[in-house]
Structure 1
Amino acid sequence: MSTETDTTDFEFDESAVRRKRRLGKAFLGLCVAATMVGIVALVALLVDVIVEAWGWLTWEFLTYPPSQVVEHYNPANYGDLPTGPGGMYPMIVGSIYLIVMTAVFTLVLGVGAAIYLEEYAPDNTLTRFIEANITNLAGVPSIVYGLLGLAVFVRALQTGQSLIAGALTLTLLILPIVIVSSQESLRAVPDSMRQASYGAGATKWQTIRNVVLPEAIPGIMTGIILALSRAIGETAPILMVGAATTMFAPPQLTDPTGPFGAMPMQIFEWAKLPEDEFQHVAAAGIVVLLTILLLMNAVAIYIRNRYDPRS
């Protein structure tokens, strides 16, 4: 009787193992299928954009302004008027200026807020309430930040439809993401390193400056650059604060209160025009924007690997 019972139990266990293996393989297949859906969609999108942009992405496209409106074009600055819709040089410069100013504001405000919340703020209900709201703000639609920038910066602070208004609006957009990622990087620093610094007689600020921040810089910089990668492709926030859809001269960094434009705005303007040539240059603009995004992500990966002690 004991032998039959043992055999029965052994057979039951084998069937259970086989069933779990089948379920595991089925789950793995679903995961692979889900991954392939995203990869195939991305590859199809890239192929379609590259085919549309083939032959239109030239050096003139990167160095000339748009040429739809001839009376706004100054040949003294760029030479003879190019044929077709021209290029997007002013918008490339505008995007670079915009993202540089956004990076400065984000670095100061985001990292400063993260240091205070993680190192100085008391662990009480108010601090937890603030952190929960910061996390929730990361999921707010970008158009809401555009309306906030329009109300606060353009109208209340009287900055007008300017480069600084766009930079401050994009700063509001990515600030919650930067604060959360910076907090996680600061939290990842072992507490034993802080205690060792305090034991050597260092003050709290000296410990943060010389011990905590150097260890957290890879994660902080990676979070900031990835957040800026999102900001450079946003259209709704800068559209609300008055970004130009087309510019024929680049904005001046020395005059942050002047008008500005960005690559997403020019791409949007080209894409809605019915002529075929504008569809091709819109695709070329998308390739330029994607290239800049990939370069920014590559910089983030390099910084993470270069300065991470675990690497």
Structure 2
Amino acid sequence: MKRIGFLSFGHWTPHPQSATRSASDTLLQSIDLAVAAEEVGADGAYFRVHHFAQQLASPFPLLAAVGARTSRIEIGTGVIDMRYENPLYMAEDAGAADLISGGRLQLGISRGSPEQVVEGYRYFDHHPREGESDADMARRHTARFLEVLSGEGFARPSPRPMFPNPPGLLRVEPHSEGLRERIWWGAGSRATAEWAAGQGMNLMSSTLLTEDAGVPFHVLQAEQIRRFRAAWQEAGHGFEPRTSVSRSIFPLVSAQDHRYFGLEQRSSDQVGMLEGGRAIFGKTYAAEPDELVRQLQQDEAVAEADTLLLTVPNQLGVDYNAHVLRSVVQDVAPALGWR
């Protein structure tokens, strides 16, 4: 069975046609959508993280709330920008959210996307060391985060503690056993996918790749996944990895669907420039269910991945997005052999 979840960017805007006009709207509706997703048979609720924007940012309070309101679905991020993170504080937050959810956290992290402000991580008091790039700093933060998640003690206990200590060096608490194997790296290229495999992180690939090899997006992304798996096997980690891809998929089953997404039936891959380099963006899938099945059968990356994240237009509200998820899970997935 292929796992199917949603990925929300968590936008809000004070526009009369937006269902999310404030941060409060977005946060509360994100929880409600996760509950609805579980009810319609979806497998995951994932949230994007952007700083200095009218979008979801600090993810752990939201993840903890979703974990407390649901019982089955995975909860996660796609992705947290590690340039902004304190690895030890993040390990505490992640451990707490994972324990609240009963071990359902699937945490996507990465170097991050283009920012809303210039070098925004510096406002969070994170600065690259001499000779480091911001990407190097993100990987350094990641390495420390992964070390801490191992649960090994590293901090020398006080000889006069406020509370009695267990013997030996102390670790960050709360520690959630098994969370280290549920960390994903958001890879934008084939090379970063191979690097992620070497670090023992699962692969999270999106609708954007920061390279253009002159082939369709899904073909390039499928190659990325295969390279990741080969590098994983060579590294010899002691557990099986997971891989996910994100897609915008809209079954056109109602007049409302056609009004919102009917024009996307002509969607195609797009090549553009991102941070000075060529990048390729995946198409939007919008069609009646039978045609969607035909199109998705030809998507090599969707076939390769074990997890599919559906990007949802959260400003259209909980009810509409639950309708989209239900349509994919119940009308499209069975015909593709995913259910």
The bucket for the TM-score relative to the shorter chain is under 0.3
Higher strand fraction (1 or 2): 2
- Structure with the larger RCO, 1 or 2 (CA within 8 Å, 6+ apart): 1
TM-score, normalised by the number of residues in structure 2: 0.22
Q: Which has the larger radius of gyration?
A: 1
TM-score, normalised by the number of residues in structure 1: 0.23
